[in-house]
Amino acid sequence: MAVIVITGASSGLGEALALRLSQPASTMHLVARRGERLEALSPRIRERGATPRIHMADVRNREAMQEVADRVLEEGGPPDLLIANAGIRGEGDGDSAMALEEILATNVLGVAHSLAPFLPSMRQARRGQIVVVGSLAGYRGLPGAGAYCASKAALMAWTDSLRLSLEPDGLTVSLVNPGFIVTEMTRKNPYPMPFVMSADEAAERIVRGVERRSPRIEFPLPMVAMVRLLALLPPRMGDWLLRQSSKEKGH
Ligand SMILES: NC(=O)c1ccc[n+]([C@@H]2O[C@H](COP(=O)([O-])OP(=O)(O)OC[C@H]3O[C@@H](n4cnc5c(N)ncnc54)[C@H](OP(=O)(O)O)[C@@H]3O)[C@@H](O)[C@H]2O)c1
């Protein structure tokens, strides 16, 4: 019997995780703004023997997320697994102040709003796993995606801190940093996506990492090596490499 909460379950990685984690006797709390997409997912969750619960909510709204948590806690107590997956990449100029405001509201504050209302009861129960979905883009600012990269970099520092703060209470925190995944977010990407994978395959890798309670779940390996190396290089050298790669892609 498990209580699982997933934000951003209406498409892409969140939907794939919801299906992959659905098992008999589990209650799957699915959170997103597009309620009709969650309704459409529900029968597939039921087919796997789990019980779906739909929560139409915006992670940017602190009160709305508190209400979601109140409903979850009232029904089944603190979650065994809480996955803050909802995120956006944004449209237009990804380096602008407006993009920063919009993206941080969802990708950073939205994660905080998704976790905070559950923490007191999880701490009291002294059990539960917290999983936050970041990105390999958090390792290094990439041209035209400053706000997105900054949001995912913030999650790295924040979850490192949270992991140690919650450890004495018996809670574990994992950050997931995937490379490219085929979802609504990337479908219209005009550039090549090296080592791209399906949402199902990504969900499979995440579940394996969650089972091991890995502090960081990162994949695919060649991309992990590339971004980590890029982050270690002196900025001038990293900039040079990124410029060369933009020239090769013709933009
Ligand atoms: N795709 C990739 O290549 C890739 C790579 C690395 C990391 N990621 C991360 O993976 C996570 C999932 O993204 P995805 O690729 O699966 O994209 P996606 O298909 O666009 O899914 C994004 C999900 O987040 C939800 N969401 C967005 N804003 C929300 C809000 N304000 N309130 C509630 N829910 C919200 C969306 O639901 P509604 O629109 O219905 O609210 C949707 O379910 C994100 O954190 C993303 O940054 C993706």
- The predicted pLDDT at position 80 comes to 98
205's tokens: 């890798």
pLDDT-based confidence at residue 245 (cuts at 50, 70, 90): confident
Q: How many CB atoms lie within 10 A of CB 91?
A: 8
Tokens found for residue 80? 């065994």
pLDDT confidence tier of residue 192, bands split at 50, 70 and 90: confident
Residues with CB under 6 A from ligand 1: 7-14, 32-34, 37, 58-60, 85-88, 106, 110, 133, 135, 178, 180-181, 183-186
Question: Nearest Cα to 114, choosing from 93, 99, 133?
Answer: 133
The mean pLDDT value of the chain amounts to 96
Q: What is the mean pLDDT of residues 113-141?
A: 98
Span from the CA of 24 to the centroid of ligand 1 (angstroms): 26
Cα separation values, 146 from 50, 149, 159, 160, 163, Å: 39, 5, 20, 21, 26
Give the pLDDT of residue 164: 98
Tell me the per-residue pLDDT of 106-126, one tens digit each, with 9 for 90 and over. 999 999 999 999 999 999 999
How far apart CA 8 and CA 158 sit, in angstroms, is 20
Write the pLDDT tens digit of every residue in 61-92: 999 999 999 999 999 999 999 999 999 999 88
- Residue 48 pLDDT > 90, yes or no? yes
Distance from residue 158's CA to the centre of ligand 1 (Å):
19
Q: Could you identify the atom of ligand 1 that is nearest to the CA of residue 184?
A: 19
- Give the pLDDT band (50/70/90) at residue 189: confident
Q: Return the percentage of the chain with pLDDT > 90, whole number.
A: 93
Known active-site residue 139: no
List 148, 158, 180, 219, catalytic entry = 148
* CATH of span 2-223: 3.40.50.720
Domain borders along the chain are: 2-223
Tell me what percent of the residues of the chain surpass a pLDDT of 70.
98
Ligand 1 centre from 48 Cα, in Å? 23
pLDDT tens for residues 201-241? 999 999 999 999 999 999 999 999 999 999 999 999 999 99
Instruction: Please give the Cα distance from 82 to 122 (Å, whole number).
Output: 10
What pLDDT was estimated at residue 37? Answer: 98
Res. 250 pLDDT band, cuts 50 70 90: low
pLDDT for the residue numbered 190: 79
Q: Looking at ligand 1, which residue's alpha carbon is closest to its atom 45?
A: 87
